[in-house]
Every structure is written in structure tokens, then in C-alpha cells.
A = this chain, B = another copy of it.
Amino acid sequence: MPDNQKPRKITTLAGGIGAAKFLVGLTSIVPPESVTVISNTGDDIELFGLRVCPDIDTVIYTLGGVINEATGWGLAGDTFESLRWLARYHEASWFNLGDRDLATHIYRSDLLRQGMTMTEITARIAQSLGVRSTILPMTDSYTPTWVVTDEGEMHFQEYFVRRRCAPRVLELRFDGIEAATPAAGVIEAITQSDVVIVCPSNPFISIGPILAVPGIREALQKTAAEVVAITPIIAGQALKGPAADMLRDLGHEVSARGVAALYQDFVKLFVLHESDAALQSSIEALGMRVLVLDTIMTTLADKQRLAQQILALCQT
């Protein structure tokens, strides 16, 4: 692709593992500096007094080339000595935190207590690990996602990690989101980009919290950028995580169209997996263009191809 055809600025809305895969492809075919990631912080949690930001860290660790590839979270080659010792003090250890990974949380929590914003801290961590794209938290506020289930209300991580998504989801609550404001640069990234890409992440607990920050959805609706969403649902199933169960439990159609409908007010181009090609016309009926591609990303080549195909269409 000749340089003059490349979009100058690309902004992405990102959850964790699925988003990070796509971002690896994207940042390997465009200058990484041209990419801004607006990262979900709804899954952030305070553990042992430390602020843990799973989605931000998955994106940074992945782009920094230090992610544990086998799990998709945490650092490659990490050990768990600290967590094991914490168990001697009868501290809950259902959330896995490696020793190296803990350093990130210790560093972040220390800077937060010193009064630094999540935006500044995230930039420092990304820079320290060699990440050249801009990684922005959706907001500087702490707005954890609470899951109201048939077994009571619990922090998203408790539902997701401790309970392995077993309880039935009745409702999602983004604590304090009404009072939150987008982090510095978030609105500009959306309104001043050429392309905005909603990564193949869970629409409820990864993209949902981002959209719930006052001002972000409105910016997506009014931006002149091409707004693209990549389906996280293929043939009625999520590649990873509880997206399909949540679509069902929360009363939506369990399909890529169910996801497209959630983004109907701002997405202009929806990327559907080939196996769902039959949904194309009914998604177009929602008022968006549809691109049918192989959206499953296994190899680096898969990731690059998907990014390339999406960007190519954005220029036509």
C-alpha cells in the first residue's frame, strides 16, 4: 500500500485479548505512532490495595512483546511466589498476579497515590515497555464494572475469574460512570482520526464501559472518521469470554447482528466473519456497510491481513 493511501490517524476502542491480537497486526502494517488505543478500564480492580488494570496491561504487554502468549494475560515467564506467600496471610488469591506483573501494579498504585493520573501512568508504563502507540485509559476515574447476577452482585473480575462466568447476568453496572469524564485525548482521538476501529471485544464488558463514559458515544456519533466494528461473535459464539452468554442473558440476539445492533448509532462499517455471510443484508438494514472477512486471527499474518483488508476498504 503506497504511503499516501495510508490513513494518517487510527483510533481503536479496545478490551483485552481479542483487541490486543488485532492491534499487533495493525501496528505492524502502519506506523505504530499513528495508532491510539482507547482502553477499557471497567475491568480494573483493587486487590491488596493495588490497582490492577487487566485490559490496559494485556494491550501494553502484547504490543510490548512481553505477554504470556499461552494465556493471553500476564507476563511471559512470570512466577507466582508473591501471591503464594500472600496466601499465608489468608489473603484471597483467586486472581492470578505474577511477580513481574505485580511490579506493574505496585508502580501504578504508587504513582496514583502520588496524584498522577491514569493517563500519565499508562503512558509511562507503555513507554517503559517500548510501546510506541498511544494507550489511553477511557477515563482517569475508577469506574469498576459490577455484574448483577442471579447469585447476587459482584465485581466483574469476581464474576469472570472467580466464578468463571457461571452466574446468570441480569444487569451490568458501571460504578460512578455518570460522573466520569473521558481521559485527556480520548475525544480528540475519536473526532480527529481518519478511522476509528471497535476491536473484536465483548460489547458489554469491554466496549460497553468505554461507550458509557459521558461524551464518548456522542463523539463516535458525530466524528467524520470511518467508524468500523469487528465482530466478536462468529456463528453465534464468542471466540473467548462470555459475550454470547451475555447477549442471551441480557435479551439480545445471540449473533453478530445482535452486536451490530448495539453499535447501530455510530458504526458505519461492520466486519462480519465469513461463516456469518448470511447476516450481511440484515446488518446492512441497520444502516451500515458490511465487510465479510476471515476475522479469526491465529498467526501474525492473519492479524496483518485483517488489518490490511479493513484499512483498504476505509480508503475506498
Q: A: which residues have CB within 8 A of B?
A: 48-50, 75, 78-79, 81-86, 88-91, 98-104, 106-107, 109-110, 113-114, 124-125, 128-129
A124 contact set on B, CB distance < 8 A: 89
A113 contact set on B, CB distance < 8 A: 49
The distance in angstroms between the C-alpha atoms of A124 and B113, with both chains bound, is: 25
A106 close to B88 (CB less than 8 A): no
The distance in angstroms between the C-alpha atoms of A223 and B48, with both chains bound, is: 41
Question: What is the interface of chain A mostly: helix, strand, loop, or mixed?
Answer: helix
A82 close to B107 (CB less than 8 A): no
B81 close to A104 (CB less than 8 A): no
The distance in angstroms between the C-alpha atoms of A82 and B2, with both chains bound, is: 44
B103 close to A89 (CB less than 8 A): yes
The distance in angstroms between the C-alpha atoms of A81 and B97, with both chains bound, is: 12
The distance in angstroms between the C-alpha atoms of A83 and B107, with both chains bound, is: 11
When A89-B125, A100-B85 are in contact, do A109 and B75 touch as well, CB less than 8 Å?
Answer: no
When A81-B79, A99-B81, A99-B99 are in contact, do A49 and B106 touch as well, CB less than 8 Å?
Answer: yes
A75 close to B82 (CB less than 8 A): no
B89 close to A107 (CB less than 8 A): yes
The distance in angstroms between the C-alpha atoms of A104 and B82, with both chains bound, is: 9
A49 contact set on B, CB distance < 8 A: 106, 109-110, 113-114
**Nearest CB of B to A281, in Å:** 51
